Amino acid sequence: MQRPNLIFILADDIGYADLGCTGARDADNRPADPSPQLDLLAAAGLRFTRGYSNSAVCSPTRFALITGRWQYRLRGAAEEPLASAHGDKILGLPPEHPTLPSLLRDAGYATALVGKWHLGYPPHFGPRKSGYGEFYGFHAGGADYFAHCDPRGRPDFWENETAIEQDGYLTDLLSRRAAGFVERQSAEQPFLLSLHYSAPHWPWLTRDDREESGRIGGFGKHTDGGSLATYQRMIHHMDEGIGWVLDALEKKGLADNTLVVFTSDNGGERFSNNWPFVGQKMDLLEGGIRVPLLARWPARIAAGGVSDTPNLSMDWTATFLDAAGVPPHPDYPLDGRSLLPLFSQPGWKPERDLCWRMKHRAQRALVRGDWKYLQVEGVEYLFNVTQDPRERANLREREPERLAELRAAWDAWDATLPAIPQDSKVSLVFTTKDLPQATF
């Protein structure tokens, strides 16, 4: 069989229930449909109810996704998230480290990143130093949708290594470039397209909000703007653009043998809907790490499937390499696990532990099947997240042996990795001085 094309679509800070197919609701709690294209993709493929991000904040997940390994192995991923580090020689993805795009490139794939990089700044780091043949997007953790600048107001829009100026709404520009990349591909050479949107990350701007972009001047985290309607409209703009990419696949006759995956880098933020979970971005509660996850590959995945097999972002690195028949680098064994068996057996559920740790609030978590061990600021919790997805019934006193078993498993996993560096930083978008927050 011909090697498949691979498209990985990563939304930024989208919540578990922000898609129509995962339960989106409007401000009056009525069913909403901000994502008709993604809903169709889910119906034509496999929807995952227990897709987890490798971290509750963006850049650590991106380190795990591009390497297929625990992000904690790399110093840059200890930042929560990677803040402005222009010129820094340490805080980024080392160009010599094998990556999903570099391994596929070396196996004959065309590779492109359209959108957000957030894995270190030039001249020491960059997408084309780590395996992407083409780059069109931005380096920082966020971007203004009209000014195309980073959160500090500095221009940040690039084509390969060249700074560019291009008028337009950023989500649309990324979507059009991604669709154009597909249109330029030959049926003789497979490709990897990483389409990493900024949407629906702040600032809260739709296509109609150019004036609001001017008001905030490209600066800040937009704690004085936005609404649920604006947020859902931003998702709809992204969804429409994904439709353009999928249409390009159809027109090229490539849809049948292209694996398309959609997910988020972490749980949702201010305006997102993480129902039925509690917590949000920066929390190891389910709301911070349980993300929407969809996969379509008509040649291999039956339509209309649903899987409750727990999995992590970095599993998709292993899955893409497996699908392409490309082995990992022998000196950098993967920590992720290929999910190809799920495509023919949605009930496939290997025994494994999914683990997390964060400097923020000294958080620890481990998921094993239905059970979850959680520690926040030294306080331990034990939840059955299948029976109690809202993590409201702490079972540590009722199940002391299970608590001890999962704690020991987390300790054993943690001992295999470098310690969290003392000088790593936590950068919060807002605190209670800016906006009220629900208690834990």
Which residues are identified as catalytic?
58, 118
Classify 405 as helix, strand or coil: helix
Q: Which residues contact 378 (CB under 8 A, 6 or more apart)?
A: 362
Q: Which of 261, 322, 264 is nearest to 296 (CA)?
A: 261
Contact present, 169 and 146 (Cβ < 8 Å): yes
| Phi, psi at 424, each rounded to 5° | -70, 150
| 225 CB burial (10 A radius; 0-12, 13-18, 19+) | middle
CA atoms within 13 A on the CB side of 402: 19
Q: Which of 434, 383, 218, 324 is nearest to 4 (CA)?
A: 324
* Distance separating alpha carbons of residues 255 and 142, to the nearest angstrom: 31
* Distance separating alpha carbons of residues 209 and 284, to the nearest angstrom: 33
| 89 CB burial (10 A radius; 0-12, 13-18, 19+) | exposed
CA distances from 90 to 85, 98, 170, 426 (A): 9, 17, 29, 17
Residue 370 DSSP symbol: T
